[in-house]
Amino acid sequence: MSEFLVALGLLFTIEGLVFAAFPGAAKRAMESVLATPEGSLRLVGLASAVAGVLLIWFVRG
């Protein structure tokens, strides 16, 4: 459980840094997401989730 909380903290840290360092780019990215069809977002989300699981699997072996 502690590893999950560390991973969640790292996620918040990275997201916070992106918004703090590049607020304009973050806003444009959100506008782009709103204009993207739901099917494409689902496909990208699924691909990202699979890539993340594979990365963890290879690293943790």
8 A C-beta contact, residue 23 and residue 31: no
For residue range 26-51, what is the model confidence (pLDDT) as tens digits?
999 999 999 999 999 999 999 999 99
Number of domains in the chain: 1
User: Would you state the pLDDT for residue 10?
Assistant: 95
CA distance 18 to 61: 30
> Which domain range does residue 35 map to?
2-60
Look over the chain and give the mean of its residue pLDDT values, rounded to a whole number.
95
CA distance 45 to 37: 12
pLDDT band at 61 (very low <50, low <70, confident <90, very high): confident
